[in-house]
Amino acid sequence: MLYSPNEYDNLRSIVVGTATKANWPVKDKTFRALEKITKWKQTPVPKGPVNARVIEEANISLDILASTLEGLGVNVVRPDYRDYQKNDEFYGYCPRDRVLIVGSKVIDAPMAYACRKEEISTLYPYLGNNIITCDNPEAIFDAANICRHNNDILYLLSSSANIQGAYWLQYTLGSAYKVHVLDNIYGGFHIDSTIAIIREGLVVLNADRITERNCPSLFNGWDKIYLSMKDLQEQPFYEYPYASNYIALNFLSVTSELVICDPKQYYLRHLLQKFGVETIGVDLPHSRTLGGGHHCVTLDLARYQH
């Protein structure tokens, strides 16, 4: 049964993405606007098909991630094939961006990039028949702008999510949920390189974006693991870094006591172990190239407490 209320209950079923036919869109004006706003000036924002070797190496690493999860007893499924290169679309590498699952609700995220609209079609076999689509044309958000903690929903306002999206999401989820709008933290893209809830009472935070002064009140009284750029090992990339090195904070919880992360993040793994959280290292060598760590490249379909 499809049901996922948070980021950390026992993982039962998950989508692992694919890099097959990954593409840098040429005609999507919103995507190409990165050329003006990117802080990386050394190399241009790429266009057209992703390098074949990058695709091959990324797929090998995703297969290893899938096998690791299966070895832990998790049911793993993969997106259907789609030729993103032929259609001048994006990719199936980050299913987390595309679909938001809150409990048993499945929401078709109203993303700003038109080139990503059809990615959801590759996931239809796993999403059921009651997909909620947004009826507010002004609402914009990526599913990865949202961090779920049962009835508390953290919503990061950024270049990929606006306030109309937050209002629509609150209305759609109803009074049983509280959408917490975070508007003073980080204006880039997604939340999962900034906040990672490990379990009730424990959270990992990006110390370069969050301090005690702007930390969400939801975490009052919680144990907090703060990590900054100096605490992270450098992750290489091919030609252009679609993600910053903070992608190292983008890890996947299998349970509240086990996460899968970048094997090179020794300090992160050490701090998690101090709080009784074990780690498994799985290398994603193109997490910066393609913009997706272990959380981004997956979409949990089922999590249960027991």
Q: Kindly list the catalytic residues.
A: 142, 190, 296
> Tokens representing 13?
């079923």
d(CA 187, CA 105): 27
d(CA 171, CA 158): 20
d(CA 166, CA 173): 11
Instruction: Please enumerate in sequence order all residues whose Cβ is within 8 A of that of 60, keeping only pairs 6 or more positions apart, or say none.
Output: none
CA 65 to the chain's CA centroid: 15
Q: How far is CA 81 from CA 90, 208, 220, in A?
A: 13, 38, 44
Instruction: Please enumerate in sequence order all residues whose Cβ is within 8 A of that of 174, keeping only pairs 6 or more positions apart, or say none.
Output: none
Backbone dihedral angles phi then psi of residue 288, each to the nearest 5 degrees:
-80, -40
> Tokens representing 148?
């779920």
Question: CB neighbours (10 Å) of residue 186?
Answer: 22
Q: How far is CA 6 from CA 49, 83, 270, in A?
A: 35, 32, 24
Contact present, 106 and 2 (Cβ < 8 Å): yes
